[in-house]
Amino acid sequence: MGRELPSRERLLELFDYDREKGRIYRKARDSREFRATRHQTAEHRASNWNSNWAGKEAGGLDDGGYIRVSVAGARYRLHRIIWKLEHARDPHYSIDHIDGDKLNNHYSNLRDVSALENSKNAHLRKHNKSGVSGVRFKQNRWMAQIGTTGSKGSYLGCFKTKEEAVQARQAAEQRLGYSARHGKHKREEV
């Protein structure tokens, strides 16, 4: 879940939200948000900050490939900020990128899901040598398996052809509610 986000009102004070692109841009700040130092007035510090940052897209990539944005010394993932801007609340669980693209933060590409539900997408990120997760060639047969709650994997059977093993895997994915990716997923409008 992550740390609690600033209020929606505060986020809107700090950022311009481009809903169509799924991006946020830093707004100019008033000198009241800055403290004078021994060498600079609050007005001078605000002017410097605004000339360097105001109007520019907020955030940078973190080690996990997500965009993170700093707010008052704390770092938040952009998709969580966009969720709060859209829904006026923090996400209940984890935010899933429906199309699997961590950089696509358009609100229609985000959904609030449990860790278990989000883990069902892992099969789409980890492929074996067959090119299909949960399908492998072993002892002149094609084996299919799938992960289920509380187990390392459920055996789906051995098959003569790769196509049969893939079909068994896909049927199990559908039965267990694995997320469909790449435009096949239907979602309610927010």
CATH architecture group of domain 120-176: 2-Layer Sandwich (3.30)
Mean pLDDT of 84-97: 91
Tell me if 121 sits within 8 A of 178, measured CB to CB: yes
Which numeric CATH code is attached to 8-117?
3.90.75
Which among 177, 170, 181, 180 has a CA at the least distance from the CA of 145? 170
pTM of the model: 0.64
Mean pLDDT of 20-25: 94
| 3-state DSSP percent of the chain in helix, strand and coil, to 5 | 30, 25, 45
pLDDT at position 79 over 90:
yes
Predicted confidence (pLDDT) per residue in 25-45, tens digit: 999 999 999 999 999 999 999
d(CA 72, CA 24): 16
d(CA 74, CA 10): 14
Which among 125, 117, 75, 82 has a CA at the least distance from the CA of 96? 117
Predicted confidence (pLDDT) per residue in 170-180, tens digit: 888 888 777 65
Cβ-Cβ contacts under 8 Å for 102 (sequence gap 6 or more): 64, 65, 66, 67
Q: What is the pLDDT of residue 50?
A: 95
Q: What is the pLDDT of residue 187?
A: 35
d(CA 62, CA 60): 7
Domain range list for the chain: 8-117, 120-176
pLDDT at position 189 over 50:
no
Q: What is the pLDDT of residue 119?
A: 59
